Structure 1
Amino acid sequence: MAFSLRVEPFSFPGDNTAVNNVRFRCSDGVELEGPGLNWGDYGDWSNSCAKGVCGLQTKIQKPRGLRDDTALNDVRVFCCNS
């Protein structure tokens, strides 16, 4: 399994959204896309996790008060070793 994030680049001024969708590529080549938004472009595919995913870590922007918040900014996937 590999994944790719759809990310809207930073824009000023404007309402920034950061990560808007995710797609997955299964080991059999089938691609699945989330029901997210169409803003931004998909990045490169991650390295493949041959034995599946055992965890993930998200990067979330802290609330910025009156300034623009983006919420999810990145995802890190941890592959299973066995």
Structure 2
Amino acid sequence: GGILADDMGLGKTIQVIAFLSGMFDAELVQHVLLIMPTTLVSSWLAEFARWTPGLRVKEFHGTSKTERTRNLERVQRRNGIIITSY
């Protein structure tokens, strides 16, 4: 675990994306859970899609229970990242 607490606009999102991409490439992780404020979930999903389009990133927030369950099962089965809020 860890905390990256830089000021706004200093690249925390891309730092985390690059770090996680490297961890997945090196097969050092299989599953990652990112927890953030609700207002950031959609922008993080967009940034992952922009910088690491091959990485499986699923949302576990705001969707139906069926969709959340499906997304969780996909990541558990095939590795990837779940993004949720608190």
Where relative contact order (Cα < 8 A, 6+ residues apart) is larger, the structure is 2
The answer to whether TM tops 0.5 is: no
Q: Normalised by the size of structure 1, how large is the TM-score?
A: 0.28
Name the one with the larger helix percent: 2
